[in-house]
Structure 1
Amino acid sequence: MYFEHIVEINDPTNPLAAILSPEQVWAGLMFRVHEPVAFLPGLDRCVVRQESPGRVTRELHFGSACILDTVTFKPQEWVCFESAATAEHAGGRLTIRLEQPDDEQLCLRFTYETTLSEGLEEGESIQVSEFVKSAYRASDVDTVRVIRMIATTGRPH
């Protein structure tokens, strides 16, 4: 399954929303890499196994399930989360790109590539796909909410 959408960070037409800088948004994305519990409901803990410039390997513990993922990134541009399929997890890739179409606008482009609908009948696949896309959208809007909170208070809650 492939799914892509954009969540706007800075909306010049909304004077009530705080304007965030690309640096603040990037800091929030890096917080998601190192402290994902604040962003992923059901995640109990994260163990960073290895870290090098532009790459982090992690263990994500959801109850008894452990998912290994690799995060790669190009500072101020994009971050990519990749995990292999297991019995508990469909596996896939999420890439988040920081985009600034002009001086006032700032947004995040979320791109998902998963094995989720493989092996399902066409009708089931469409139904599962629409449900998952809706969940991804909600999660990504929540990610932006947490990034805003970190930018304005220094804390994710």
Structure 2
Amino acid sequence: MNFEHLIQINDPQNPLVPTMTREQLWEGLVLRAEQPQLFVLGLDSCTILSREGNRLERELHYGHATVRDHVTLTPGVSVRYDILATEEHVGGSLTMTIEEPDDSQLFLRFEYRTTLPAAVTDDERQTSEIVKSAYRESDIDTVRLIRQFVLGLNGPGALPH
């Protein structure tokens, strides 16, 4: 199953939405890669197993389940998560790419590529839509949390360390 969507970060038509710079958004994406437990519900801990240049190898712990992934950072542009498939977990990738069509607009594109088969039956299509909706909600939450951390909307200071 492949799925992608776009979230608008800055809305020049809505002065109530705090403006973020590309650099602030990037800081938030790096924070999500290095401290995912701040963003991912149900994630107990994350161990960074190795760090080489712009690439991280991580181990994510969800209760008794462990997932390994590789994170590739393209500074100021994108973060790609490659999840290793196991017998218990579906593999795939998520790429978050910053898009800035002009000085007043900023977007974050989410692209999912999974090993889940394409939906054929009505039940499979319904399941696929539920998964896509969950991805979308998680991504909206990610942007909300980046806003809070980067813009200091949840108290004094900005990014947690």
On whether the aligned pair clears a TM of 0.5, the verdict is: yes
Verify: 1:61 aligned to 2:61, yes or no: yes
The equivalent of 2:122 in structure 1 is: 123
The equivalent of 2:105 in structure 1 is: 105
CA distance in 1, matches of 2:88, 2:25: 31
Give the share of equivalent positions with the same residue, in percent. Answer: 48
78-87 or 143-152, which deviates more: 78-87
Please list every run of 5 or more consecutive structure 2 residues that lacks an aligned counterpart in the other structure: 153-157
CA distance in 2, matches of 1:48, 1:139: 22
83-92 or 68-77, which deviates more: 83-92
CA distance in 2, matches of 1:19, 1:33: 22
The answer to whether the Cα contact below 8 Å between 1:46 and 1:59 also exists between their aligned partners in 2 is yes
Structure 1 runs (4+) greater than 4 angstroms displaced:
none
* TM norm structure 2: 0.92
CA distance in 1, matches of 2:35, 2:10: 24
Give the aligned residue type for 1:103.
D
Verify: 1:17 aligned to 2:12, yes or no: no
The equivalent of 1:84 in structure 2 is: 84
128-137 or 83-92, which deviates more: 83-92
The equivalent of 2:147 in structure 1 is: 148
CA RMSD between the two structures: 1.4
CA deviations 1:55-94 (Å, max 9, x no partner) are 0000000000000000002100111001122233211100
CA distance in 2, matches of 1:109, 1:2: 13
The answer to whether the Cα contact below 8 Å between 1:73 and 1:80 also exists between their aligned partners in 2 is yes
The equivalent of 2:3 in structure 1 is: 3
The Cα shift of 1:121 comes to 5.6
CA distance in 1, matches of 2:139, 2:120: 28
CA distance in 2, matches of 1:37, 1:23: 22
Aligned residues: 155
Give the aligned residue type for 2:38.
A
Give the aligned residue type for 1:144.
V
CA distance in 1, matches of 2:63, 2:35: 17
Per the alignment, in what secondary structure is the counterpart of residue 140 of structure 1? Answer: helix
CA distance in 1, matches of 2:88, 2:38: 21
The Cα shift of 1:155 comes to 4.5
CA distance in 2, matches of 1:115, 1:78: 22
Please list every run of 5 or more consecutive structure 1 residues that lacks an aligned counterpart in the other structure: none
Give the aligned residue type for 1:133.
K
CA distance in 2, matches of 1:88, 1:147: 30
The equivalent of 2:34 in structure 1 is: 34
